[in-house]
Structure 1
Amino acid sequence: MKKDQEIKYLRDLGEELERLSIQESIDRKNALIKFIIIAAAVLIGLFFAMKGFRNQAFFLTLFVVVGVEFFDKITFLWFTCTYHRWPVTEGKIITQPKVVEVVRTRSGVFCSACSSFLPADTTPPIRYKVAVKYEYEVGMDTYTGRRISFSEQIWYSQKDAQKQADEFKRGGEVTVRYHPMWPKISIAES
């Protein structure tokens, strides 16, 4: 029994490290894109300043730098608005969907099962989320995903969360939409 628990713990740890590696890769790409945009804005600003358009150069650079700070939010909004046009493939649920309690902290809410941090608000301290893991293939590569919605679906009652969890069954088929450029980014549809 203890050996099975150790194996499960090591498997879960490996999955968490894989998820963190994917997130780190996405974060590095976003940081590089931000750096390139800011560098381009500064160069364009210097160009305009040398041509005598100092006010325009300042406001252009300021606009771009502020815009870059909202890049993550704009990217998330873009994904949310366009994911329905992403390519579709068939996937398979590889874990039994479960309802997990979301833990409230001073500055927000932390979901231990999905390792995501949600900002604080004035909602009740006990909330629930559905945790599911699915596998899908794109070309010759196999990927795993956990996202079933781009908005964090947090339920106030365990019964409502269980209804969503019942839409997914272990070993069941699921339609997966994946980002055409980054197939690791996906969303499952029941």
Structure 2
Amino acid sequence: MNRTIKLLMLSDIFVLTGFGLIQPILAIFINEGVAGGNILTAGVASTLFLVTKSLVQLPFSRHIDESEKKTRWLIVGTALIAAVPVMYIFIDNIYQVYLAETLYGIGSGLAYPTWVGLWSQNLNPGRESFEWSVYSTSTGLGTAATAAVGAAIASLAGFTATFILTGLMCLLGCGILFMLDQESASGRRVVAISKERESRSKLD
């Protein structure tokens, strides 16, 4: 695995496992801790997320295929996702839940196609299945572990502590993407300098 693949995988592990902390308890939080919240509105909130993500990612994916600043867009999407658990700390009515899930859908719609594009570009030829399997296994095991941990934290320390920990993990994932962006920018500068030197040598 090259460094880009490793950083992309590590970032996604933090974000996905972070959200694994709150997935088992979110419906309970909405049902018990939010004005107007019940099982039905929890389902509506999940639908809002999925519909928003689907509507955003399809047109955005056409743009990102032509963009040279893929990591910047990935950071934007991941930052929006990281804001969602922080919002849940202050939520007290169902309409704020709907807003948070819509924002989650927008962030995911920006991040997912960008992440997949970068990942696909950097897969090692002949090892695609293995590298996808390593990613799937890592995120699957991480999410499985944090599901139990998240439920335990919510039971012992409350929902707020769980949301804070989720936000911190998402921010760590976002920080890794900043490292990747800096490395990508350095690589682009090296390529630009090389092209400039080549063009000058041809003129000489």
Instruction: Tell me the TM-score normalized by structure 1.
Output: 0.28
Structure richer in strand, relative to its length? 1
- Which structure would you say has the larger RCO, counting Cα contacts within 8 Å and 6 or more residues apart? 2
Structure richer in helix, relative to its length? 2
Instruction: Tell me the TM-score normalized by structure 2.
Output: 0.27
